[in-house]
Chains A and B, each alone.
Chain A
Amino acid sequence: MPSIKLLATTALALVTGLTPAFAEMTEVGASEGQLNIVAWAGYIERGETDKAYDWVTKFEADSGCKVSVKTANTSDEMVALMNEGGFDLVTASGDASLRLIAGKRVQPINTALIPSWSKIDPRLQDASWHTVDGVHYGTPYLWGPNVLMYNTEVFKEPPTSWNVVFEKMDLPDGKSNEGRVQAYDGPIHIADAAQYLMFHKPELKITSPYELNEEQYAAALELLRVQRTLVGRYWHDAFIQMDDFKNEGVVASGSWPIQVGLLQSEKLPIASVIPQEGATGWADTSMLHAEAANPNCAYKWMEHTLASNLQSDLSVWFGGNPVVPAACTDGSGMQTAEGCTANGLDDFDKIRFWTTPVANCSQGEGACVPYYRWVSDYIGVIGGR
């Protein structure tokens, strides 16, 4: 495999006539005047959605870098966009970051050029999803849980288990959950099923929902096939999911805190919870493209993400936790200690962060089911296979 990978990247480098920059930068020079970022929706706000949330305008004025954002809906889309090129930074989740590193689409960063690096939560500084062999491939950006969003008119009490979306049952209003729950339309959702099994079927001996052997993987798919009979439509677009909660009678689904916040701001009866099984989560990293055209602006932005109001305000807006813990309390933005607790700051150890499943895992060489099978099998499950 490595030889094929090498061949592929070499061939690509020849075809595109570009030489990947393997060496990290040693100093931040003058601004190039622009910066292109691939980001999750709601990650980079310039006060256009809501005037109170703006962490771009001031950066543009101070650094002279005009920020352009391309939003992506899934990790796979982010990897695809980075493979195409033309971007400087990507806010990659753990299920994309290792793939980007393996594909040599991102370059190592020099943490000495980011003065605020030391303020980052020590648990994230060397996190395995952006640090390979001691080399850092990005700056942590934000982390948070995948919550269970529910309708408070149906659930007077918050649901205590993910079983409402995994098993056929009657909801507290006496009606079946068939057709009234949703699930994420991305292969990484298999990990949510595995985490549910970790709690309810200890005999499977799952230790990480991202490291599944054949037997554990088959059990997770079996659970997802049951879920298929309950789910009317899977969600991948945050706004279609919100519409389904409004018009389609959907009352419970795995979701992101931002949908919960937006629906609540429309005064709809919506709340969220992290059930007893725990939750999967995302820990996102700003990663620098191997052929970034604007590296100076990119370094300035990475420092800005740690040192400004961004951490505090972003964590309120998106419903995550700042990677600089001080941002919860230092008043740099709107976030408060209570807010961070509500977003799961104290649950860091209960959250299993998205990672790309690979064949060579802690269970042994080639013992685990790799990601490409997750992709094709999840398409199969949604198609009723």
Chain B
Amino acid sequence: MMTAIFPARSLADRLTTLFWRKPKLLLALMLTPPLLWLGVIYLGSLAALLLQSFYSIDEFSGMVVPEFTLKTYAELLRPQNYDIILRTLLMSAAVTLGCAILAFPIAYYAARFAKGRWKAVFYLGIMLPLWSSYLVKVYAWKLILAKEGIITWATDATHTSGILNAILALPVIGGNSLSTSYIGMFAVFTYVWLPYMILPMQAALERVPTSMLEASQDLGATRAQTFRTVILPLAMPGVIAGSIFTFSLTMGDYIIPQIVGNSANFIGMAVYQLQGTAGNIPLAAAFAVIPILIMLVYLALAKRAGAFDAL
């Protein structure tokens, strides 16, 4: 009786052959899990959210009525809800601007002047706050900014409490203490999101070729002119990339406005309260759609400004 000439082929061997003959099969097998993840879990949850926002709530029992209606979106236009959206937008814009102004000199120095060990120190300094818990940082700020906190103590000790009181006396953004005012909230937001602005800015500034700066000088431009006409336009994509982070992170945050500030609602907080506390998931979903729309517009504008060209 003849025995096999070739050694018996294992399953792995046969699979290898199959994949060699049909390379597309392997590709499909490898791509399916991540695509399923993206499609079902990520886009699926977004679709569920969108669907919920077209439902409404029975106002007494708090049960969701699964019937298609635009009533929930109409509720967003009520003055108190409209206020929440406007308040969040203004805070996000202010925080983004504040971060950009603070981050530029730091990023510029880190990108162009810091060398060797100093560069490492800079990176470490920027990243360090990201390594501690977000909640710890916010609670620490609540204590720093409190009426009986270190800032009040320091201004009392240096006899400058008049300045602090003058700032707090400002209409709208002022308040009883830094920790219950918009100024305080702005400070905490700016602190927490600053690294997300510095890093992309620094990356953009590092890509500005030195030769262009030299050419600008050779052609007789002053330092201010060089900055305005060469450095800033070339670094702009980095600024815009950073602003996407700070803007969207501020818009979605719900913890800082709960701990610091005067209890006025922000979008994130409203979503948190409406879905968790009031059980009004449709209105929470409608609120959650707003930042998505705003970010889509923002990203479209950023794309036109060339923020993604370097990606």
Contact = CB atoms under 8 A, between A and B. Distances in A.
B120 interface: no
B79 A247 contact: no
A218 B61 CA distance: 24
Nearest to B60: A102
Contacts of A231: 262-263
B39 interface: no
Given A76-B278, A80-B277, A248-B180, A384 B61 contact: no
Given A83-B63, A233-B261, A379-B270, 9 more contacts: A8-B63, A102-B60, A233-B262, A248-B146, A248-B177, A249-B147, A358-B60, A371-B60, A375-B278
Interface string B130-151: 0000000000001100111100
B87 to A, nearest CB: 7
Interface in B174-224: 175-177, 179-180
Interface of A: 1, 4-5, 7-9, 11-12, 15, 73-74, 76-77, 79-80, 83, 99, 102-104, 178-180, 185, 231-234, 240, 243, 247-249, 356, 358, 370-372, 375-377, 379-380, 382-385
B148 A76 contact: no
Closest 3 CB pairs of A and B: A179-B176, A380-B80, A80-B279
B125 interface: no
Contact of A379 (B62, B67, B265): B265
B264 interface: yes
30 contacts: A7-B67, A8-B61, A8-B63, A11-B66, A12-B64, A76-B279, A77-B277, A80-B62, A80-B276, A99-B62, A103-B63, A104-B61, A178-B176, A232-B176, A232-B262, A233-B180, A233-B261, A233-B263, A243-B142, A247-B143, A248-B148, A248-B177, A249-B147, A370-B59, A376-B81, A379-B265, A380-B80, A380-B83, A383-B83, A385-B79
B225 to A, nearest CB: 45
Contact of A232 (B58, B63, B87, B175): B175
B97 interface: no
A41 to B, nearest CB: 15
Nearest to A246: B148
Given A232-B175, A247-B149, A382-B264, A372 B60 contact: yes
Given A77-B276, A179-B180, A83 B262 contact: no
Query: Chain B interface secondary structure, helix, strand, loop or mixed?
Result: loop
Contact of A4 (B65, B78, B177, B262): B65
A74 to B, nearest CB: 6
A234 B265 CA distance: 11
B17 to A, nearest CB: 47
B302 interface: no
Contacts of A77: 276-277
Interface in B253-268: 259, 261-265
B263 A382 contact: yes
A11 B65 CA distance: 8
Contacts of A12: 63-64
Contacts of B75: 376
Contacts of B147: 179, 247-249
Contact of B263 (A99, A234, A372, A380): A234
A356 B147 CA distance: 36
A104 B80 CA distance: 31
B33 to A, nearest CB: 29
B84 interface: yes
B62 A83 contact: yes
B87 A383 contact: yes
A377 B63 contact: no
Contacts of A379: 80-81, 84, 265, 270
Contacts of A179: 147, 175-177, 180
A201 to B, nearest CB: 25
Contacts of B175: 179, 232
Given A247-B147, A248-B146, A7 B62 contact: no
